[in-house]
């Protein structure tokens, strides 16, 4: 007899499988209450005991008291922040990853996982127009992808410019870059070279003007462009900025965590063409590529440079790097700031392989269409206004005269009524309404209902 924690338990397994089946069968997934749900503190307190408790009892408690206190980010009525809308097959395969404890750390340990993950990364890389040989790893999110990329960018910049004191190298970002970009620069001790945007878009003209006005433009060693700003879905001038970076030997990082997926939408191919200039590129499958949390694709034009900067070195790891097999040294652990990692790219890979690329293209197009439909609905309502035209799958609108408090009240009421989860945002200092669409099954009648609720 082995240790009881490692013994197979038929009843426990059945209970968990039954729960999973019930969740997976929900179509559509209901919103649930999140922070507005009253958690029964007494029921939850004191659960951890010396002897443990039966699986069925704890599962029932979880289902009754905890699970409903989470807003379902995968509901088609979740239209706040950036949602997460995993496909059924991606969720199913996440169970495969979970129940087999699949790791994806190194080629030696997990060549099968790495092969599948690399297939998915290669698909994204080719669609971005990057050359053969580009690659990287799946990391936990866009924030981690940006941090790893900018660490490499910093070190490459320092190596190319030994004449600049290391602490003086700077990285150009726009005022509309994601919060994680500024945070990454803070972590790696690099000062941002912040460039003002033109209608919230980072353009080559703005970069040139900012460099011309700066006493030390030579200290700027990298450019960060955003392919789909989180707040408004605006795609920076990838072609202009990327070409400039090429010509001036600057590292070009493209943060496409949210919007990069729209490169797969046939209607939007053109504005993503400049992705081919990227030295590093991040796109989150857990956002608009319909994979479960947590999964971001991090791709380098030249993975060898990233490995040189980021791979962890230790006597106990040397065996991962010594073999003549060309694939042998391909360890996902070497391309970001992590070592042990779950096979987090596999749910996305499995879903992409099973549904096919066409299904992704049409699902992404639908998100864009929903934003456009919202725009028409807003324009048809005399008491509402669009703040700017819909961009990618984001629509910004206002109810003139409403205060921040009024928008917050409206947002929470919609959640209480289980209509939808829609949160306000700020635009040039003003509080406004915002939809972020991802789920292709979001109902047009839900959009109408939300817009109709913007009443005094
Ligand atoms: C969401 C987002 C991020 C951060 O990604 P996480 O996966 O949440 O860490 C970075 N950049 C942009 C543009 C984003 O939309």
Question: What is the CATH classification number for the domain harbouring 209?
Answer: 3.40.640.10
**pLDDT value at residue 35:** 78
Query: Which residue, among 116, 170, 103, 151, has the nearest Cα to 307 in the 3D structure?
Result: 151
CB of 226 closer than 6 angstroms to any ligand 1 atom: yes
Measure Cα distances from 19 to 6, 44, 74, 84, 125 in Å.
21, 20, 17, 21, 37
Please indicate, yes or no, if residue 348 is contained in any of the structural domains: yes
In this structure, are residues 252 and 278 in contact, taking their beta carbons and an 8 Å threshold? yes
381 and 340 both lie in a single domain: no
pLDDT for position 325: 65
Q: Residue 359 has which token pair? A: 């299904």
Ligand 1 pocket test: pick from 230, 282, 391 the residue with the most ligand atoms within 8 Å of its Cβ.
230
Residue 291 in contact with ligand 1 by CB distance below 6 A: no
- The two counts, helices (H) then strands (E), for the chain are 14, 11
What span, in angstroms and rounded, lies between the C-alpha atoms of 263 and 271?
8
The angle at the Cα of 448, spanning 87 to 389, to the nearest 5 degrees, equals 80
> Ligand 1 within 6 A of 178 CB?
yes
Give CA separation, 353 vs 90, 96, 223, 314, 363, in Å. Answer: 10, 15, 34, 36, 15
Both 352 and 372 in one domain: the answer is: no
Evaluate: CB of 142 within 6 angstroms of ligand 1. yes
Q: Assess whether the C-beta atom of 174 lies below 6 angstroms from ligand 1.
A: no
- Whole-angstrom distance between the N-terminal and C-terminal Cα of the chain? 68
- Same-domain check for residues 277 and 251: yes
User: Which residue CA neighbors atom 10 of ligand 1 most closely?
Assistant: 142
Nearest atom (ligand 1) to Cα of 230? 15
Interatomic CA distance for residues 375 and 385, integer angstroms: 9
The reply to whether 380 and 234 lie within a common domain is no
Is residue 84 in some structural domain? no
Distance 208 CA to ligand 1 centre (A): 27
Distance 440 CA to ligand 1 centre (A): 20
Bridge partner residues of 297 (DSSP): 138, 283
For residue 414, give the CATH number of its domain: 3.90.1150.170
Ligand 1 centroid to Cα of residue 258, in Å, is 6
Report the residue among 82, 143, 394 best suited for mutation to probe ligand 1: largest number of ligand atoms under 8 A from its CB: 143
Is residue 222 domain-shared with residue 111, that is, in the same domain? yes
Side-chain-side CA neighbours of 382 within 13 Å: the count stands at 0
- Say what the pLDDT of residue 321 is: 81
Residue at a domain's end among 298, 322, 357 = 357
Give DSSP secondary structure letters for 27-92.
SSPP---GGGS---HHHHTT---SS---HHHHHHHIIIIIGGGS--TTSTTB-SSS-----HHHHH
User: Ligand 1 centre and the CA of 297: distance in Å?
Assistant: 11
In angstroms, what CA-CA distances link 134 with 127, 144, 300, 325? 12, 19, 6, 19
Domain extent, residue 386, equals 358-452
Residue owning tokens 């495969």: 96
Which of 141, 238, 280 is the best mutation target for the ligand 1 pocket, counting ligand atoms within 8 Å of the beta carbon and taking the most? Answer: 141
Distances (CA, A) of 247 to 179, 197, 244: 28, 22, 5
147 lines ligand 1 (CB under 6 A): no
Closest among 60, 28, 73 to 290, alpha carbons compared: 73
Sheet with 220-226, side-by-side order of all strands: 135-139, 296-300, 280-283, 251-255, 220-226, 170-174, 191-195
Q: Is 344 helix (H, G, I), strand (E, B) or coil?
A: coil
What is the number of domains present in the chain? 3
Asked if 271 and 378 sit in the same domain, the reply is no
Residues 186 and 301 both lie in one domain: yes
Residue 417 lies inside a defined structural domain of this protein: yes
Q: Is 247 exposed, middle or buried (0-12, 13-18, 19+ CB in 10 A)?
A: exposed
Would 52 be classed as within a structural domain? yes
Cα(284) to centroid of ligand 1, in Å? Answer: 7
- Do 134 and 104 share a structural domain? yes
- pLDDT tens, N- to C-terminus, the chain (456 residues): 799 999 999 999 999 999 999 999 999 999 998 877 788 888 889 999 999 999 999 999 999 999 989 999 999 999 999 999 999 999 999 999 999 989 999 999 999 999 999 999 999 999 999 999 999 999 999 999 999 999 999 999 999 999 999 999 999 999 999 999 999 999 999 999 999 999 999 999 999 999 999 999 999 999 999 999 999 999 999 999 999 999 999 999 999 999 999 999 999 999 999 999 999 999 999 999 999 999 999 999 999 999 999 999 999 998 888 766 666 678 999 999 999 999 999 999 999 999 999 999 999 999 999 999 999 999 999 999 999 999 999 999 999 999 999 999 999 999 999 999 999 999 999 999 999 999 999 999 999 999 999 988
Q: Is there a single domain that holds both residue 199 and residue 342?
A: yes
The pTM for the full model equals 0.97
Domain end (from 357, 378, 408): 357
Please choose from 187, 257, 285 the residue to mutate so as to test ligand 1's pocket, defined by most ligand atoms within 8 A of CB: 257
**Do residues 222 and 158 lie in contact, with contact meaning Cβ atoms separated by under 8 Å?**
no
What is the structure's pLDDT at 16? 97
Q: How far is the CA of 9 from the centre of ligand 1 (A)?
A: 40
- Is residue 122 in some structural domain? yes
- Residue 272 in domain: yes
CA distance 442 to 367: 9
Do 247 and 367 belong to one domain? no
* Residue at 3 is within a domain: no
Q: Do 288 and 229 reside in the same domain of the chain?
A: yes
DSSP string for 4-24: GGGS--HHHHHHHHHHHHHHH
Q: Give the number of the atom of ligand 1 that is nearest the alpha carbon of residue 143.
A: 9
Quick check: CB of 230 below 6 Å from ligand 1?
yes
Torsion 254-255-261-266 (CA) sign: negative
SS3 (DSSP) at 100? coil
Answer whether residue 105 is part of any domain.
yes
Residue 158 · residue 332 · CB < 8 Å: no
- Same structural domain for residues 212 and 306? yes
Residue 140 CB less than 6 A away from ligand 1 = no
Beta-carbon contacts of 345 under 8 Å, excluding residues fewer than 6 positions away, are 104, 113, 116, 117, 120, 121, 137, 138, 285, 295, 297
Residue 424 in contact with ligand 1 by CB distance below 6 A: no
Q: Of 317, 334, 357, at which residue does a domain stop?
A: 357
């Amino acid at each position: 007899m082995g240790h009881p924690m490692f013994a197979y338990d038929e009843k426990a397994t059945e209970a968990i499988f039954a729960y999973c089946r019930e969740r997976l069968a929900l179509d559509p997934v209901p919103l649930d209450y999140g922070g507005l749900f009253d958690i029964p503190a007494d029921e939850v307190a004191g659960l951890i005991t010396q002897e443990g408790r039966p699986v069925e009892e704890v599962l029932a408690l979880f289902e009754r008291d905890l699970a409903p206190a989470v807003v379902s980010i995968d509901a088609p009525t979740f239209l706040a922040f950036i949602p997460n809308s995993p496909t059924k097959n991606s969720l199913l395969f996440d169970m495969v990853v979970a129940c087999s404890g699949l790791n994806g750390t190194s080629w030696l340990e997990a060549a099968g996982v790495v092969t599948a993950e690399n297939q998915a990364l290669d698909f994204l890389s080719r669609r971005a127009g990057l050359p053969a040989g580009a690659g990287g790893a799946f990391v936990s999110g866009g924030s981690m992808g940006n941090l790893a990329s900018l660490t490499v960018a910093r070190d490459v910049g320092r190596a190319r410019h030994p004449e600049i004191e290391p602490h003086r190298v700077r990285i150009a970002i726009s005022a509309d870059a994601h919060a994680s970009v500024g945070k990454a620069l803070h972590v790696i001790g690099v000062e941002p070279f912040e460039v003002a945007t033109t209608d919230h878009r980072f353009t080559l003209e703005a970069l040139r003007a900012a460099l011309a006005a700066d006493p030390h433009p030579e200290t700027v060693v990298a450019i960060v462009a955003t392919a789909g700003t989180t707040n408004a879905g605006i795609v920076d001038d990838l072609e202009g900025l990327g070409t400039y970076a090429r010509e001036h030997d600057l590292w070009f990082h493209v943060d496409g965590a949210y919007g990069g997926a729209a490169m797969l939408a046939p209607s939007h191919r053109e504005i993503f063409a400049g992705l081919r200039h990227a030295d590093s590129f991040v796109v989150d499958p857990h956002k608009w590529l319909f994979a479960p949390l947590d999964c971001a694709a991090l791709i380098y034009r030249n993975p060898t440079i990233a490995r040189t900067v980021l791979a962890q070195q230790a006597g106990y790891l040397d065996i991962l790097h010594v073999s003549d097999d060309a694939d042998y040294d391909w360890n996902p652990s070497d391309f970001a700031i992590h070592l042990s990692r779950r096979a987090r790219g596999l749910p996305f890979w499995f879903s992409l392989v099973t549904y096919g690329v066409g299904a992704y293209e049409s699902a992404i197009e639908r998100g864009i269409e929903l934003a456009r439909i919202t725009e028409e609905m807003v324009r048809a309502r005399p008491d509402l206004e669009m703040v700017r035209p819909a961009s990618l799958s984001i629509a910004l609108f206002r109810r003139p005269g409403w205060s921040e408090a009024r928008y917050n009240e409206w947002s929470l009421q919609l959640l209480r009524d289980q209509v939808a989860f829609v949160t306000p945002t700020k635009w040039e200092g003003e509080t406004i309404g915002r939809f972020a669409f991802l789920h292709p099954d979001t109902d047009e009648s839900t959009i109408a209902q939300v817009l109709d609720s913007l009443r005094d």
